[in-house]
Amino acid sequence: MPLMPEAVAAALAAGTLSTLVTTPLWLRARHQALALRAHAATAAADLLAARCRGEALASHSLAVAAETRYLVDVRVPATVGRLTDPALPAAPGLLHPRFAGTALEADHRALLDQLTAAVVRDRLRTARSEPGAESASGQDGGQPSAADWFRPRSRPRTTHDQQLQQPGPFGSSVVWSAFQSGTESGRASADTRYERSH
């Protein structure tokens, strides 16, 4: 019987010793598990934020593409139409109001301004080079009037002109007709120079 208390004491000592050794290890493992859990939660939040930023960027990219398509399909033809016929309504504004005051709006406005200036210059140059322009320019001091800029040009149509009126692979027929109008004025100038030289 005297061995029993010694065995119990030895077991208690061994248990205490193992507790003293394993408790710090358990506490450290628990602390690492909590840190890993917090790190995983932060990583999940970062992933969600990155996904939201990606969706916002994709949405912005689609909106920019839609705005540019709207510029090509609606605003440019309306600007050219207004220059051709001042009775037409002015070109519409942006499709997405969120781009107001941005660099995109400034770029689109600059493009429309350059287009307007180019069309007006072309019309003025064509008005000066057409037959009878000398008599018209003599009446008002050498400059054609603003109404002359928008006066439709008349000349005999050729088969080549009729082929050009067919819709081409350039998208909007209005944009194509604006392009065609520019090429017609160039051809009219060339025809006039040819007729004068012969």
pLDDT tens figures, 106-148: 999 999 999 989 888 888 888 887 766 554 444 444 555 555 5
User: What pLDDT, on the 0 to 100 scale, is given for residue 48?
Assistant: 94
Which of 194, 45, 186 lies closest to 118 in space, CA to CA? 186
CA distance 151 to 136: 13
**Torsions phi, psi of 88, nearest 5?**
-70, 155
The structure's pTM equals: 0.48
Do the beta carbons of residue 146 and residue 123 sit within 8 Å?
Answer: no
Mean pLDDT of the chain: 75
Which of 76, 62, 148 lies closest to 110 in space, CA to CA? 76
Residue 191 exposure: Cα atoms within 13 Å on the Cβ side: 15
DSSP tally for the chain: helices H, then strands E: 7, 0
Which of 145, 152, 153 lies closest to 85 in space, CA to CA? 152
Among 14-23, 34-43, 152-161, top mean pLDDT goes to 34-43
| Residue bearing tokens 């220059």 | 83
User: What's the chain's Rg over C-alpha atoms?
Assistant: 40
CA distance 59 to 51: 12
